[in-house]
Amino acid sequence: MTTRRGFTLGLLAFGAGGVSGCIGGGGGGSAFPSRAADPPPRPVPNPGWDAWVAAFRSRAAARGISQATLDAAFRGAGFLPEVIERDRNQTEFRRTLEDYLAIAASDERLALGRQNLARHGALLSEIEARYGVDAHVVAAVWGLESFFGTRRGNIPVISALSTLAYDGRRGAFFEDQLVAALRILENGDVTPDRMTGSWAGAMGHTQFIPTSYLALAVDFRGDGRRDIWSDDPTDALASAANYLSRSGWQRGQPWGVEVRLPAGYAGPSGRGATRSVAEWAAAGIRGWDGPLPDAGPAALLIPQGPSGPGFLVFRNFGVILRYNNAENYAIGVGHLSDRLIGRPPIRGSFPPDAAGMTRADRQELQRLLTRAGYDTGGTDGVIGARTRAAIEAWQRAHGLPVTGEPSRELLARLRQPVSRRGSGRRGAARSPPHPPAAARQRARRRRAPAPRRPNSGRAARPRRPARDRA
């Protein structure tokens, strides 16, 4: 079975819609996919792609794809350079577990997840009864893969897969996915115009790649089609449960549990070092809420070192890894599933990042930049593309070396009153020569006399929160 991680090539670029970028197994999408509202990329003329498609059509016909299906599939298809760009750049940022969980179990995701658990509770209970996979776990996979169906991806799958197969970096793999996508069309489960997904060809609410779809997607209601693309998530959720069930999920058993490590712990850790729960307890590993659950052999994971949170993980953790072979993803699914049913957030403290900054420091940095008129896209403490762009703009305006990198020095400068910030360049102005519009507007308000009206002290409407992602 091809795992979604083996397919998606990178971690936490949060595929089509959720937290993880292009990550996956059952599908191959992303825990953090791109917003469905983004316009799909436009195909551009490419004689090389045209020649490749002409040769591919013969190979596909030899593998049993009809000419009618090939004609329909490629009628509106084309070469998508943006797909190549995303494939090349998907690993630009690798997130820490702290950043990953801040996005995977954000307030926004939890609120939407709990709404969907209530709305689709009866359906999820039916799925749990048939496949033996806990409802809140299926919901968590849905949440990470497509933000509960709100970010399923809108890129034409035939165009995306043919572009990647033609490009050749993983040509054989993507050609196999393309043939599988054509078989789906030939079976009548979906039409070419509705077969959309992530840039890497992951599809639907739970971001299945075509080969995983053919092997494991289900028609839960028996209507003759396995429809993972429509607004109705029934077949997609049942398909994800079938995937986990076939991978060995044990109903009612934990994926893992957050633990406390003894001071100075230097013992074994990692997925390869399994012990009984009794042995871990004898080594000083303790639960946060009483005795450790005994769910069989367990491994100790400490993703950010002994000073950060630790987790004992059990067999079901390995099952999640079959869906996406990335530890951060599996912890993210497990933690989100716990939060959806009211369990607490992470209790352990994360260590400072490589710049010596805590999450609280990074959140303050984002708030100060936003207050100065440089939009960071949110204040969640996750340093993504918009925060880096804001840092670059602020550094440029203040005559400093433009790095786009957060630092304690930068935070200290932002904390200073404007008149004391100075410049990193001799002879440069002490304040931006061309401050952003928001900053200029605030400056005019400070110079103007206060209007005499009853509501002059009313607080400004707060900014609408937005997600900051890479």
Residues marked active site are found at: 145
**How far apart are alpha carbons 434 and 342 in whole angstroms?**
49
Half-sphere exposure of 80 (CA within 13 A, CB side): 24
**How far apart are alpha carbons 180 and 161 in whole angstroms?**
10
CA distances from 423 to 109, 124, 390, 392, 432 (A): 40, 58, 17, 14, 9
C-alpha triplet 238, 243, 249: angle, nearest 5°: 105
Residue 328 contacts residue 12 (beta carbons within 8 Å): yes
Token pair in block for residue 168: 């050749």
CA distances from 416 to 253, 267, 412, 428 (A): 52, 44, 7, 18
Residues 6+ apart with CB under 8 A from 185: 69, 72, 73, 191, 192, 195
Residue 9 contacts residue 90 (beta carbons within 8 Å): yes
Number of H helices, E strands in the chain: 19, 7
